[in-house]
Homo-oligomer: A and B are copies of this chain.
Amino acid sequence: MSTAPSPEPVPTAAASAPDLGARLDDLRREYAALQARGLSLDLTRGKPSAEQLDLSDALLALPGEGVHTAEGGTDTRNYGGLAGLPELRRIFAELLGVPVEQLLAQGNASLTLMYDTVVQALLFGVPGSERPWSREEQVTFICPVPGYDRHFAVCEELGIRMVTVPMTPDGPDAEAVAALVADDPSIKGLWTVPTYGNPDGSVVSEAVARRLVSMPTAAPDFRIFWDNAYAVHHLTEHEAKSANAIDLAAEAGNPDRVLMFASTSKITFAGSGVAFFASSPANVSWFTKHLAIRSIGPDKVNHLRHAMFFGDADGVRAHMRKHREILAPKFSAVTSILESRLGGAGVAAWTDPDGGYFVSVDVVPGTASRVVTLAKEAGIALTPAGATFPYGRDPQDRNIRLAPSMPPLEEVQVAMDGVATCILLAAAEAATA
């Protein structure tokens, strides 16, 4: 029962898997055998594999001795150029569908850009704010769930209250979001990963995007943190293109509503890529004004290195197809093993994403943490249960995020077979509890 991410609970074990209890002893033996293999496998985080990183190894010798001059004669080695190198910004402006003047190229992590943006809002407010967010009695962000644990950690660290809405196959539940923001002026932000959502793989549809950028908000300075981490990270021929939220927001008369983030972390080197910030002219100038106090400019040599490596936007697209060749078999392994081991058992629903880095699995409610523990004790590290929810608390204890990118294909297969055993055993335990 491979499905788009299900906003509805899957059938409970009691309702749908009455015979699982009878299989408990078999499953325990199967699990004991799994444990006996002494595995050490890791599906915890969305890290690229060494094979993927190898695709960008030309970067290790770029720009090349004597090569340091960018267009306009800029010496990339020296200070300056706060907005980042134009030739690299142009490539990603095309890919992200934003004007190059509205796109900044910065350091090695979009997470840092997102954190710093929230901090700037707390310290200074954003265009349209009545006061710095830190002077509000309360600041609330809407967190679609399941979602990205690092988004939630930023809010938690910075004292921002989180309220959840469900994800749908078309992105965050826009009606739920609209209802919340209409009445509550403390709601200043919404997180979303619009293209191949983390972990559910959903893509924000144009209709949902239009609703989000045009809905009335009680706060005059509400912002959507549009974390376009996987904008070009396709796993199939069906290359999704998320709605152009910045343009749509401008059309809707809310030009400053969307803050877009992206990076090359999962295009070139995870730790040594380039991160991007895009938004309205007012937001870009707000961000840059404060950036100028803390930076004399980003690492332009790394920008030049990346611009030379890609050449142009088509260079990025061609490069991403090589990633796809490596990643697609791993994702197929995950979903086909889940299908063959669990299909029809009524104990799980999972996503079959067209891109991104994750498979989201909903298991029998109440058993996700048990599955993760069982896996751990069999040498298979999974992202902690609850990680896809604020404060690490999944109210139904049912969602598990699988990240198959890092291990070699054979390890993904072995690990997933083990995970299937753990899901079945936890369900059987629950059915007989």
Contacts and interface: CB of A to CB of B under 8 A. Distances in A.
B154 A293 contact: yes
Contacts of A66: 57, 60
A111 B53 contact: no
A61 to B, nearest CB: 5
A299 B299 contact: yes
Contacts of A299: 107-108, 271-272, 299, 302
Interface string A253-281: 00000000000010001111000000000
A112 B295 CA distance: 6
A296 interface: yes
Given A77-B272, A158-B123, A293-B153, A64 B61 contact: yes
Interface stretch (A42-50, A188-196, A221-229): A42-50
B61 A109 contact: no
A67 interface: yes
A251 interface: no
Contacts of A57: 65-66, 68
A125 interface: no
Contacts of A60: 62-68, 301
Interface string A197-227: 0000000000000000000000000000000
A78 B271 contact: yes
Interface in A94-123: 107-109, 111-112, 115-116, 119, 122-123
Contact of A157 (B77, B290, B300): B290
Nearest to A289: B157
With most chain B CB atoms within 10 A of its CB, the pick from A53, A116, A296 is A296
Contacts of A122: 123
Contacts of A384: none
Interface in A65-102: 65-68, 75-81
B75 A50 contact: yes
Given A53-B68, A108-B299, A123-B122, A76 B271 contact: yes
Contact of A79 (B56, B79, B270): B270
A138 B294 CA distance: 22
A153 B53 CA distance: 40
A186 B62 CA distance: 49
A76 B62 CA distance: 16
Contacts of A76: 271-272
Nearest to A108: B299
A351 B138 CA distance: 52
Contact of A301 (B111, B272, B297): B272
A58 interface: yes
A17 B272 CA distance: 59
A2 interface: no
Contacts of A298: 108, 271
A134 interface: yes
Contacts of A157: 290, 293
Nearest to A115: B294
10 contacts: A45-B79, A57-B66, A61-B61, A76-B271, A79-B271, A109-B294, A116-B294, A150-B293, A299-B302, A302-B302
Given A77-B271, A109-B294, 9 more contacts: A56-B77, A60-B68, A78-B270, A111-B294, A111-B295, A116-B294, A119-B119, A271-B298, A271-B301
